[in-house]
Amino acid sequence: MKILFSSITYIWILYSLISCGNRNDSIEVIINAKDIKYTSLYLDTVYIYMDIEACSYNGDSGVDGDCLYFIDHFFGFLYEISPSGVVLHRYLGLGNGPNEIFFRPQLGATVVNNDLLIMGGTFDAYLFKSFINREKIYLRVSETINSLNDAGAYTFYPTILRKVGNKFFYNIYSDSDYCNPCVHSRDYFSKAHIIMEVDLKNGAQRPIGKYSQYYNDNHYKVNHLFQICYDIDTLNNFYISYQADSLIHIYNKKFNQTKVFGFQGSNMNTHYSKALPNFDDFNRVWTDDHADKGYYTWLEYIDETNMTFRSYQKGAHTEFDGLQIYQGDILIADVEVPKQFKVAGYIPPYYISQIICDEEAETMKFYKFRLD
């Protein structure tokens, strides 16, 4: 591993009495907090050998405990995989039994403490405790949409699921006629929420969080880059990265903002196209810019080491993506990584990426690396 130590002065600015949610708080904004220790990462590539007849090479992956998991979108199997790439167990699968999945799990899934949570397709979700005994959760929504505070105003795609205690969360946006980023960008980014909170016991839903000031100031040119990525730490703090905003925003469990830090990724093409306020042009610009431009794609916070990993797409002009590493709120690395690279978790002493699938080549692999 190539390491570069540097000493850079930290500049701290304290903003007091900044409105956060429904009350005023002091937030600490860190500017130029940078101490670059790593200019490249040595990545070990680990291939996973699967039964071809039972794998579609499409699915969700992550880290839980000391294993990786992969849930197949087509066959519904949940695979438990060792850090060396060995398939240890296969659970579930499609079927109508109590420990089977009766639909293709393509809308988002996560594993937390050996519990599998899957999004359904009709205002429902399913929890498999210890991977058995399916429990259905009905997601409650209002029958009418009177404002962007109503859960029924929102949909989700793609879904980032996070489960904390008796609640789970997923990212949202609104494509309703009432208010959407295409036609109503100014109102949308000032009023819309970004995450749905769900009570596992009764399915009650509550939209929370807001877009950053960057989106309010630039609504007319980034309205097609409305997605977010986020993580939640053990103290229930939310770490949020918006697609086009270079800053990382931290909110406490009441969703009051407590800290802002971060830098723009290196060599990103941020010359975004401007979408006209009609759906045809909006969809065209959405497709073109997501393929060709640079934006932030994933965020993972590792509690054990107090590290935040933020992945970003640089753009079509390069064959690499980027990865920023923050120790606390200090940037210690901004390095090139392979396309689709996203950190999924930590299995000491390695940080582990999500599983990358190649359906055509019928291969599955992940990367692992150390920060010594």
Q: Is 22's pLDDT higher than 60?
A: no
Q: How many residues does the chain have?
A: 372
CATH 2.20.25.90 fits 11-369, yes or no: no
pLDDT at 366: 98
Q: Is 218's pLDDT higher than 70?
A: yes
pLDDT at 73: 95
Q: Write the pLDDT tens digit of every residue in 292-323.
A: 999 999 999 999 999 999 999 999 999 999 99
The domain spans of the chain are 11-369
Q: Is 6's pLDDT higher than 70?
A: no
pLDDT at 169: 97
Handedness of CA 173, 124, 78, 72 (dihedral sign): negative
Task: Please tell me the least confidently modeled range out of 26-35, 223-232, 309-318, 336-345.
Answer: 26-35
Q: Write the pLDDT tens digit of every residue in 159-193.
A: 899 999 999 999 999 998 889 999 999 999 999 99
| Of residues 19 and 196, more confidently modeled | 196
pLDDT at 336: 98
Q: Is 221's pLDDT higher than 70?
A: yes
